[in-house]
Amino acid sequence: MSRSVAIVLVAHGDRGGTARNEGLTAHAKALSAPGIYGHVGLAFLKGEPTLSEAFSEASASGASSIILVPVMMAEGYFSRIVLPREVAAVGASLPVTTTSVLGLRPEIAGLIDQIACAEAQAQNLAPGSATLMIVGHGSAIGPDARVPVDRAVATLRALNRFAEVVPALVEESPTLDEAVAGLTRPTIIVSLLASDGLHGDDDLSEALESAEVPVFRTGALGSNPLIRPILEAMIMEAINQAHAT
């Protein structure tokens, strides 16, 4: 059944240019390489290719249905309001199944731990002597945007591997500036963001200018190649569910 399914990865997109969207492009290429699916495409809500273009390519591929995978790190305005509205406006000629957003997957905390521990080893740091900062977007208009960050922080604090695990949010407290001001030991930063764009690069870089401790950034989780097994699991779950019904 996988060969009859078209996969479309969709993200918000970054205003900073196409280079900042390359993570999603790399994911699409990697997922298409084994030839498991009939088609793998991508779309950006703010950028190109658009959702309309992606759906047209999926239809032209000969697929019988589309699985839409939101490569977004939180449930919020864009996943709940904008994406369903755009899907309805496009009017795809094939049935469309939309998975949950990537950032809500239970595997996320374990992946953050894996990446942070690898960075600690690379920097010759004992995790017990370092702080782990998890950066997220948050939202000034709703509580759901910070949920993945809070979940990951709680899970990783319970592991008791790092001396401290702290959140840092773009639009909520603790803000990036507040979190950086509170750092007292070497810090590893994992960004629970889709890409190293306006927030994951520009805003974070600005906040880190005032850091008084060594900081080591691992980049946006959504663009990391290690996220691909989670994307594959999401896709296969959607395919199996569709097959069961």
* C-alpha 231: how far from chain center: 10
* pLDDT cut 70: percent of the chain above it: 93
Q: What is the pLDDT of residue 186?
A: 98
pLDDT tier, 17 (very low <50, low <70, confident <90, very high otherwise): low
pLDDT tier, 198 (very low <50, low <70, confident <90, very high otherwise): low
pLDDT tier, 34 (very low <50, low <70, confident <90, very high otherwise): confident
Q: What is the residue extent of each domain of the chain?
A: 2-103+225-244, 108-223
**Mean local confidence (pLDDT), 135-164:** 92
Residue pair 208/179 in contact (Cβ under 8 Å)? The answer is: no
Give the model confidence (pLDDT) of 94-129 as tens digits: 899 999 999 999 999 999 999 999 999 999 999 999
Residue pair 238/97 in contact (Cβ under 8 Å)? The answer is: yes
Helix (H, G, I), strand (E, B) or coil at 102: helix
> Residue 129 burial by CB count (10 A; 0-12/13-18/19+): exposed, middle or buried?
exposed
pTM above 0.75, yes or no: yes
Q: What is the CATH number of domain 108-223?
A: 3.40.50.1400
User: At the top level of CATH, which class does the domain 2-103+225-244 belong to?
Assistant: alpha beta
What is the sign of the dihedral through the CA atoms of 84, 90, 95 and 98?
negative
Q: Can 2-103+225-244 and 108-223 be said to share one CATH topology?
A: yes
* C-alpha 234: how far from chain center: 13
Q: Which two tokens stand for residue 55?
A: 């759906």
